[in-house]
């Protein structure tokens, strides 16, 4: 039998918020175009079996109000958030309903760190209802394990398991990724989710480009830029972060009056406090080992060197400082996810492909002399280019200080990526990444290594 798997991730449907909701008209038309292409008469629909796999963070419960839930979640609150998402995205659920009624078509949802609430039975039941299929229908499947193997040589997981701040250490899965329960009473959210809810969400709302930069910008550089633009928001964020310590304390306690207006001095104290916060989280989450090829001490050394360099950068003239802060660097979270997936491949020679999302950055890593490949399907959310030195003008700096997200001054580099896997019974699978272009029209191109 022939089969086709279409894998997408990180759609980030929320409640329609103009900044926080990641799924707009462009994403909706692309979804409809992709699903049309996967219909029996479409160019991607020739297989007898066609499965749409949504690999985590389809729904963004994290940024859907109510926001600060104390780092935990229960089914009734998750259902309230889901109803807000459904109300804002009827067309999404209708597109899935039309697709799922076609012969040989079915959909699988995997869990990500922004929609760990899929672990609640009530949430799953509401999604069945929103799509318009009977609960338990074989056409709609919620993967209960942390990972999914739709084919013998294909392994899929969201990827947050390899990211300290966003891994789900809440008793939902055992060390092998198997579910401990199919209907928990409450969920302890990842440390990063609690941080966003309690401390960092105002930054995402006022400076949304931080969540959309391509390549991604780490929190150290984000804080450096904010120390130039908005010291009050920096101080507020750190104060709320210190409230999350096991023994809460006042933030920025070594900052003398007036030093908040000195970017280098403010940045220094901010990073000291955030380092304490990370250490506090590490103590409360024992057993973490950095999955990247870099050892923990190397990662720490690199972080210290970056901190020292940025502190000196903040003493430069404004335009020069911004240009330096915006220089692309290795995104450690992306490296950690890649290393985790490489390890999965190395540990199982029967696998040809490992596919993840989470990092919002497309990636193709052939390993073992090309016998195995790690693919990352990036994100369908808006992506904007980190400005290069020639683009940093006084007008752009003014926009970065007070961004209007309805009129984005940065280059749009959004790519609506999907993985296409084709297989025939008893034959090896083949998989590639593609970018969908042209909305509902059938227009897609392969991403080359």
- Give the sign of the dihedral formed by CA 87, CA 22, CA 151, CA 334: negative
Question: What was the pLDDT predicted at 296?
Answer: 65
pLDDT tens-digit readout, 205-215: 999 999 999 99
pLDDT of residue 286: 85
Domain map of the chain by residue range? 2-192+332-387+408-446, 218-325
**Each residue of 163-219: pLDDT tens digit?**
999 998 778 999 899 999 998 999 999 999 999 999 999 999 999 999 999 999 999
Top CATH class, 2-192+332-387+408-446: alpha beta
At 440 the pLDDT is: 86
pLDDT for the residue numbered 291: 87
**Residue for token pair 């995402």:** 204
Q: Smallest Cα–Cα separation from 353: which of 58, 55, 142?
A: 55
Q: Give the per-residue pLDDT at 320.
A: 97
- Residue 294 has a pLDDT of 59
Taking each helix axis from N to C terminus, what angle separates 231-242 and 219-229, rounded to the nearest 10 degrees? 130
What integer is the mean pLDDT of 218-222? 98
For strands 186-188 and 49-55, give the pairing. Answer: unpaired
What's the confidence (pLDDT) of residue 300?
81
Residue that is written with structure tokens 């958030």 in the block: 81
**Exposure class string for 94-108: b at 16+ Cβ within 10 A, else e:** ebbebbbebebbbbb
Which tens digits make up the pLDDT trace of 141-159?
A: 999 999 999 999 999 999 9
Residues 6 or more apart in contact with residue 139 via CB below 8 angstroms: 100, 101, 105, 106, 107, 133
pLDDT, tens digit (0-9, with 9 covering 90-100), for 28-84: 999 999 999 999 999 999 999 999 999 999 999 999 999 999 999 999 999 999 999
pLDDT band, residue 295 (cuts 50/70/90): low
The percentage of residues in the chain with a pLDDT greater than 90, rounded to a whole number, is 92
Query: How many alpha carbons lie under 13 Å from residue 39 in its C-beta half-sphere?
Result: 16
Rounded to two decimals, the pTM is 0.97
- Mean pLDDT estimate for the chain: 96
By the 8 A CB rule, do 51 and 106 touch? yes
């Amino acid at each position: 039998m022939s089969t086709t798997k279409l894998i997408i991730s990180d759609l980030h449907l929320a409640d329609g918020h103009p900044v926080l909701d990641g799924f707009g008209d462009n994403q909706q038309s692309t979804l409809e175009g992709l699903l049309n292409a996967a219909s029996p008469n479409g160019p991607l629909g020739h297989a007898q079996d066609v499965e749409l796999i949504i690999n985590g963070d389809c729904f963004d419960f994290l940024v859907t109000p109510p926001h600060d839930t104390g780092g935990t979640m229960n089914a009734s609150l998750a259902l309230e958030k889901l109803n807000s998402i459904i109300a804002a995205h009827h067309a999404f659920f209708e597109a899935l309903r039309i697709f799922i009624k076609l012969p040989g078509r079915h959909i699988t949802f995997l869990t990500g760190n922004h929609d760990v609430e899929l672990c609640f039975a009530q949430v799953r039941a509401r999604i069945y209802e929103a799509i318009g299929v009977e609960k338990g229908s074989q056409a709609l499947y919620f993967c209960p394990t942390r990972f999914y193997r739709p084919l013998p040589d294909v392994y899929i997981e969201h990827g947050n398991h390899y990211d300290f701040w966003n891994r789900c250490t809440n008793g939902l899965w055992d060390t092998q990724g198997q579910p401990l329960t199919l209907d928990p009473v409450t969920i302890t959210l990842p440390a990063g989710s609690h941080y966003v809810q309690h401390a960092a969400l105002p930054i995402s709302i006022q400076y949304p480009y931080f969540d959309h930069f391509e390549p991604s910008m780490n929190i150290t550089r984000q804080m450096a830029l904010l120390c130039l633009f908005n010291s009050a928001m920096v101080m507020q964020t750190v104060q709320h972060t210190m409230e999350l310590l096991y023994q809460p304390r006042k933030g920025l306690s070594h900052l003398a009056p007036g030093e908040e207006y000195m970017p280098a001095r403010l940045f220094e104290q901010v990073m000291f406090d955030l380092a304490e916060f990370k250490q506090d989280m590490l103590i409360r989450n024992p057993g973490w080992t950095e999955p990247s090829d870099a050892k923990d001490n190397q990662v720490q050394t690199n972080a210290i060197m970056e901190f020292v360099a940025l502190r000196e950068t903040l003493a430069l003239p404004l335009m020069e400082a911004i240009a330096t802060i915006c220089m692309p660097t290795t995104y450690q979270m992306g490296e950690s996810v890649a290393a985790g997936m490489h390890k999965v491949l190395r540990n199982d020679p029967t696998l040809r492909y490992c596919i993840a999302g989470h990092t919002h950055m497309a990636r193709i890593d052939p390993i073992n002399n090309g016998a195995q490949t790690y693919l990352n399907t990036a994100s369908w959310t808006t992506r904007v280019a980190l400005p290069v030195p020639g683009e940093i003008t006084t007008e752009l700096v003014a926009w970065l200080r007070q961004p209007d997200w309805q009129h984005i001054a940065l280059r749009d580099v959004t790519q609506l990526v999907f993985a296409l896997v084709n297989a025939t019974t008893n034959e090896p699978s083949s998989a590639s990444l593609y970018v969908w272009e042209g909305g509902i029209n059938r227009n897609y191109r392969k991403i080359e290594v």
